[in-house]
Amino acid sequence: MAGVGEAQPRPERRKGRKRRRMKRLGVRIDMTPMVDIAFLLLTFFMLTTVFSAPQTMEIALPPRNVQIEVAESNLLTLRVMEDGGIWWNLGVEDPRKVEFRDLHKLLVDRNAANSRLINVVKVDRKAKYHDMVDIMDELQLANVGRFSLAPMTEADRKAVEKVL
């Protein structure tokens, strides 16, 4: 609440006349209501704002000592090279290059054709991290539930170089 003091007349002498000069008024502003409103607004906006949930993908890791046998015809291998190029092959076929924009269609078509298909993603150590994340996002968008991450070997590099 703001308070205002009363004006006090102050006599002033000028050329023989008495003149009353008004003294300055003292103003006191109570800041408590403004602070209350500020905190109410802050609380309101915090409670009504929609926070985005962190996007995570659950990965189930198999036990270390278990060897799983998979038929070559049920294995789709995606290789992400250092330059960001994506190469794929089914089984023992020669790798073929696929553009990232066509990857979704490839994944959907191949997984629809073979329900037991396992996708193996091999990313070069020198490739960019976002390349791997983009591939995993495409796998999720294509509703691919079975995929594995594996290290890229020298044999994988040579298989791609052989085609070039």
96-143: pLDDT as tens digits: 999 999 999 999 999 899 888 889 999 999 999 999 889 989 998 999
Question: What is the model's pLDDT at position 23?
Answer: 80
Residue 71: pLDDT over 70: yes
Q: Is 105 helix (H, G, I), strand (E, B) or coil?
A: helix
- Name the residue with tokens 């991450």: 149
Report how far residue 73's alpha carbon sits from residue 147's, in angstroms, rounded to the nearest whole number: 15
* Overall pTM > 0.75: no
Tell me the CATH number for domain 72-163. Answer: 3.30.420.270
Among 6-20, 27-41, 86-100, the minimum mean pLDDT is found in: 6-20
Q: Is 85 helix (H, G, I), strand (E, B) or coil?
A: coil
Per-residue pLDDT, averaged over 17-23, amounts to 74
Question: What is the model's pLDDT at position 53?
Answer: 77
More confident residue, 10 or 117: 117
What ranges do the domains of the chain cover? Answer: 3-48, 72-163
Query: 11: Cβ–Cβ under 8 A, 6 or more apart, which residues?
Result: 18, 19, 20, 21
